[in-house]
Amino acid sequence: MTWFVDKREKAPSIGDTSKLLFCLKLISFQSPLLHFWAKYVLKVVLRWCFSGAFSTPRIIMQWNQLWFVLGIGQPLSLLLKLNPAVTKLNLYDIVHTPGVAADLSHCETRAATKGFVGEDQLKESLVGADIVVIPAGVPRKPGMTRDDLFNTNASIVANLAKAAAEVAPKALLGIISNPVNSTVPIATEIYKKAGVYDPKRIFGVTTLDVVRSNTFLAEAKGLDPQDFNCPVVGGHAGITILPLISQCTPQVDLSPEKLKAMTERIQEAGTEVVKAKAGAGSATLSMAYAAARFTGSLIKAINGEQGVVECAYVASSITESPYFASPILLGKDGLEKNLGVGQMSSFEEELLKAALPELIKTIKKGEEFVAKNY
């Protein structure tokens, strides 16, 4: 997926808002459930889109998605198409992208949308990219761990990263494909082999863990999730997901039992969705929302907005694990400053101790995969 941001003189008007509403009505008229979802997305998107920061040079973004029909790609492309900061959007996949791009292109928003299909068009789809997002690969089925996807997804991510490293080495790279704990090291090793590695530019997208924590904690407290911020550090699989509930704003006091139950729910939230989908995949809508939030933050930072902070899984020296998710300050060139894990509670320190060996093991697995195969 590719998109540009051109110079924009003024913030969108009320007219722009009603156009977006109309567009969402058009896409959702067939299903009341989708209509409900579209209204929710609209509320979020409008809040996000109209928060300013569109007045900088253009941005291009690429994304690749194999599992398209039920996957993350379609809802994510819709969310990005609705972002008024976007003027060009490329979709790459091995099937279906021309149709999806044609469909999306009828939404009356400014992003010019184009579909690229098949190996032959991969490099062309990446030309000029400023942001590349990779949600490609297969999803979990009930009973599987994210690591069980390694054998299929590792080579998919490696091949896409190889093309991105060659064609768009300066683009910011966001990786959603699981197992993120291993696919980020895989992309990194590929970039190193290509001689274009810059640790500030490669991110594992872990925003969904933050989004889930905010949602579950706000629910428990009867508050609006949008007013919540709970940092989540570590990695993006089971016990490596470490919600820092002691650092939430507003502050949350939970009994030890409730704290444990809440932490485990956040760690297993992806599995909760996999089970509920009963064989039809894993989180797509909430993941698309989270990825759109993260890419939106990258854009804001590239556009010069100050103080943009997101948690992401990045090359890191704050623990003994060479990759670690933590709050990071984003800037024009990607990661500007790693803000670390702050003061953890003793409960969280115990979680960290349990997480590190697992994290280090999955990172090595990714690194060894590239060493052996590329």
The site for ligand LMR (CB under 6 A) is made up of: 139-140, 146, 178, 208, 236, 270, 273-274, 282-283, 287
- Cα 294 to Cα 43, 142, 287, 289, distances in angstroms: 17, 27, 10, 9
Of 327, 313, 323, residue with least CA distance to 249: 327
Residues 6+ apart with CB under 8 A from 351: 234, 239, 242, 263
Rounded to whole angstroms, how far apart are CA atoms 23 and 38?
A: 10
SS3 97: helix
∠ CA 315-324-357, nearest 5°, is 120
Instruction: Name which of 28 and 282 has its Cβ closer to ligand LMR.
Output: 282
**Nearest distance from residue 303's CB to ligand LMR, in Å?**
28
Amino acid found at 4: F
Instruction: Name which of 2 and 213 has its Cβ closer to ligand LMR.
Output: 213
Instruction: Name which of 205 and 335 has its Cβ closer to ligand LMR.
Output: 205
∠ CA 211-214-215, nearest 5°, is 85
198 among known catalytic residues: no
**Nearest distance from residue 270's CB to ligand LMR, in Å?**
2
236 among known catalytic residues: yes
**Nearest distance from residue 273's CB to ligand LMR, in Å?**
5
Q: Which of 16, 148, 209, 227 is catalytic?
A: 209
Q: Which of 93, 130, 147, 236 is catalytic?
A: 236
Q: What backbone torsions phi and psi does residue 186 show, to the nearest 5 degrees?
A: -60, -50
Instruction: Name which of 64 and 282 has its Cβ closer to ligand LMR.
Output: 282
**Nearest distance from residue 365's CB to ligand LMR, in Å?**
17
Q: Could you list the active site residues?
A: 209, 236
